[in-house]
Structure 1
């Protein structure tokens, strides 16, 4: 059946030769008034035209198309590919070739976009990494040089400088440990050992370990009403403790004085438990929410309020939760507060 939108090279050659053979043989019949020479000329023109057009298409047009396909695959053709180019490819219509080329162009456009995004991410990551290292290193350098150059430094001032130097060394150590941990998480080198435990008990223990920080800002921690009944989850307890520690420290750090932190624990279904940590602090602007789990990313408000963290806490949380094959999410409104939630497996018998 004639389909102008899906013509192979052989069909194109045949229809072209037929289009020439019919009118020429009709003219020959009209002139000679004899059907035998007309049929002879029809056969000769049809066969000769078909062979000629096939040769031209194969030699000049589809030979170029084969080169395009080789360029698309970007490789020296193997014996198998040569067979494909020689016997299978010529059966494709020009429309099918156009679809293949368009698909290849879209795929490469997506790759280019991904590469550009990765390059932008790499550039920003290096800038942030440089900033995080530069701040404590320069501070240490400044304090040490002052102590070395001062012939008669007051002992009280000298001790104060040493304490600040020690604090910046500790910050560098924390940063290096966090970098090492997130690298291990991304490489899948940290093993997740799951066991059953009560999530409310872990929440209380974790907050108790940093309660002195909360007391300094008079921040109160509680488990929401209706969520007090013990719920058992199946997860790596120490890894989840680390997640909760990061989330609670952030809630204290960015929470308002005399504010509150509330934890909610919900059974979403028979297989999943949702854990949420909410604060009533400064909140996060909407445009920053999609990037909040990126390494070293901090909002302008967060960066101005905190100069001690590594900027890797939420990124580590995300990797730990994903290593559990679970999800983590955030909701926030400026000057209202932030809620970060993640799911865990329910108790396993």
Structure 2
């Protein structure tokens, strides 16, 4: 890779000046004592001597510096730029020692940060693969167990056959649900999932989700409601289907972790810059602070045993985050352990 290599002559200029001043002063003192009869020519001699010595010293020092220092400095830049070409292609390369020290120090710091980031990602990758394996293994083994039992002879009993086939079907449905959610996250992350931006009433979308989840909430005697009456439509611009999925996932999550005889409340407020914020509040068990930064990770569960008993793919909040970010909007979490949680997200309001 060719580098824009900028030489500096400061070192040679200063070094030659120091040598010249010393040598000229020393020569003048010697000439004063040894050639007293020609003192009138001493000044001219010193000037000519100083000029000649300065020129000679400058070129010798500069040549030596280029041979023994600049070439090695250039090799260091070549080696560093090979690893960090995107940064070094954009700037001229100087042989100044301070610049070199600063650049190499910055390079070392950046690489250290990259290594730490890679370690974190590697740990996340291992955990993610373990979670994927577990989430897929559970329904797969369930289906395999029921089918193996049927093939071993239980198929002859009509009642057992129907019950086991129904349970195997539920396992297959969960597998499909997990694969569909993973496929959606992959498309969202790669930008291949196109959003159908339309104008719609967000209040109507929330009410539709309430109607769909009414029976699920009744199992725990949880009340789904708005925080206020919204007689007028609140129009937003977004992908209606995806936003309904966001609201659905958040309310399902609130029901899943909500307490018996609890409540889930949705509020919609105007913000500045033509935005609205949708808040989903519950009075459930809440979330401990150490879990909040990781809530949107795929397959991350606060209460692993309880969450799996409730079902789901473990991808709901991750999908929520990706959908909201695909809209260039923000999502927030506020929670107090033992009191409840609030998930909120912003949307662009229709003018």
TM-score clears 0.5: yes
> Which of 81, 88, 103 matches 1:73?
81
Equivalent in the alignment of 1:5? none
Matches within 5 A, 1:33-72: 33=32, 34=39, 35=42, 36-72=44-80
Where do 1:132-211 residues align within 5 Å?
132-150=135-153, 154-211=157-214
Distance 2:330 2:346 in 1: 6
The match for 2:23 is: 24
Corresponding residue of 1:315: 318
Q: CA deviation at 1:37?
A: 4.1
Cα RMSD (Å): 2.4
Cα distance, 1:270 vs. partner?
5.1
Does the 8 Å contact 2:275/2:347 carry over to 1? yes
Distance (Å, rounded) in 1 between the aligned partners of 2:154 and 2:102: 79
8 Å CA contact 2:301–2:307 kept in 1: the answer is no
Greater shift, 119-128 or 145-154, is seen at 145-154
Unpaired segments ≥5 residues, structure 2 = 1-6, 33-38
1:93 aligns with 2:96: yes
Q: What residue number does 1:213 align with?
A: 216
**Alignment counterpart, residue 243 of structure 1, candidates 220, 229, 246:** 246
Aligned length: 332
* Post-superposition offset of 1:54: 0.4
Number of the residue aligned with 1:277: 280
Q: Deviations over 1:118-149 (max 9, x none)?
A: 22222221111111111111122222222222
On the 8 A contact 1:262/1:277 being kept in 2, the answer is yes
- Structure 1: give runs of 5+ residues left out of the alignment: 1-7
TM-score when scaled to structure 1? 0.88
Secondary structure at 1:74 match in 2: helix
Q: Residue 28 of structure 1 contacts residue 37 of structure 1 at CA under 8 Å; is this kept in 2?
A: no
TM-score (norm 2): 0.87
Structure 1 segments of 4 or more deviating over 4 A?
151-154, 226-229
2:154–2:161 Cα contact (<8 Å) kept = no
- 1:288 is aligned to 2:291: yes
Question: Which secondary structure state, in structure 2, belongs to the residue aligned with residue 176 of structure 1?
Answer: helix
Tell me if 1:122 matches 2:122.
Answer: no
